[in-house]
Amino acid sequence: MGQAVEILSDILLNSKLEEAAIERERDVILREMAEVNKQQEELVLDHLHATAFQGTGLGRTILGPEENIRSLSKADLSGYINTHYTAPRMVIAGAGAIDHSQLCDLASTHFGKLPTAPAGAVDTAYDPAIFTGSDVRIRFDSDDTAHVALAFEGASWTSEYAFPLMIMQTMLGSYNRASGLGKNAASKMCQEVAEHELAHSITTFNTCYKDTGLFGIYAIAPDNKLDDLLWYVMSNLVRLVHSPSDEEIERAKVNLKATMLMGLDGNSNVAEDIGRQLLTYGRRMTPAEIFSRIDSVTAADVKATAAKFINDQDHALAAVGGIHELPDYNWIRRHSYWLRY
């Protein structure tokens, strides 16, 4: 353990940043960018963030523009390290055959000289993440498949709505036509998608950030099924506002607990979970506390959460491929609520 912490501290705090290594890595990142740009799933979610949070930092891609990659210098990297590698921004997590007091001593020895404030004592200013209802459509009539991501503004990690949104995500579920479940999927939305053969796959996502989030649907579908697909998707989203059943909520709770436990399978996963929770919550929630929070969510909570985030709310949409039958923004916006007389 002593060697591991020493090596980690040496990598983080004493990097040589040799010019030849920087040039080598520059080429690697450019090749990675070329590979990522070939994957429609990655591109669509990048476009979704770019339109949902346009004009803010959250709207920018992780890799950034190509000109940045080509122009970054050793001075830029050193400046970044001096600004961002500070004690309050770091968590040292361990799992498995770890003695806590020993890890604390090692952290003090190897990371004890970390500054508590950036060089020049000027802290980093964060852009507020402002959600903008909008869409981006990249149409290729030569494609017979469409990749569509539709999202509403979600909640932050620490929001009171975080756990109801997780349960809503599990209730809506995911479907892949290769899975064999077909019409026997637990989710009503997935049953309808399978029954009418509306999509090759459909996934519900709930992405949380520090002060906002994205909750929505990602689908890969035939170009001639998009109109029907959006009808059923919007109907099932708005149904959560009015008539989620106790049975499907209980099933979603059990499913969510099982998924969370599977995510803690192995020491590396546990260590990652500890680090992520300390950065997002400032403490670690035990599985027992998480389960208690899941169990406390009621049908009324799900309705209230859906009413806040889905009912009559603006959405962001990104679509690439054969999207000539994809309904326009106003059609989807109009179907984000039900009118009943």
pTM, 2 dp? 0.91
**2-121: which CATH architecture?**
2-Layer Sandwich (3.30)
Burial 252-286 (b: 16+ CB within 10 A, else e): bbebbbeeeeeeeeeeeebbebbbebeebeeeeee
Half-sphere exposure of 57 (CA within 13 A, CB side): 10
Contact between 201 and 219 under an 8 Å Cβ cutoff? The reply is yes
What is the SS3 assignment for 273-332? HHHHHHHHHCCCCCHHHHHHHHHCCCHHHHHHHHHHHCCCCCEEEEEEECCCCCCCHHHH
CATH number attached to the domain at 134-334 = 3.30.830.10
Where, residue-wise, is CATH 3.30.830.10 in the chain?
Answer: 2-121, 134-334
Provide the terminal-to-terminal Cα distance of the chain, rounded to the nearest Å.
67
Q: Which CB contacts under 8 angstroms, 24+ apart, belong to 25-34?
A: 26/69, 26/70, 26/72, 29/63, 29/69, 30/66, 30/69, 30/70, 32/63, 33/63, 33/66, 33/69
Contact between 155 and 165 under an 8 Å Cβ cutoff? The reply is yes
| CA atoms of 104 and 92, how far apart (whole Å) | 9
Question: pLDDT tens digits for the chain (341 residues)?
Answer: 999 999 999 999 999 999 999 999 999 999 999 998 888 888 999 999 999 999 998 999 888 889 999 999 999 999 888 888 889 889 999 999 999 999 999 999 999 989 888 877 666 677 888 999 999 999 999 999 999 999 999 999 999 999 999 999 999 999 998 887 777 778 899 999 999 999 999 999 999 998 999 999 999 999 999 999 999 999 999 999 999 999 999 999 999 999 999 999 999 999 999 999 999 999 999 999 999 999 999 999 999 999 999 999 999 999 999 999 999 999 999 999 998 76
Half-sphere exposure of 150 (CA within 13 A, CB side): 25
Helix (H, G, I), strand (E, B) or coil at 217: strand
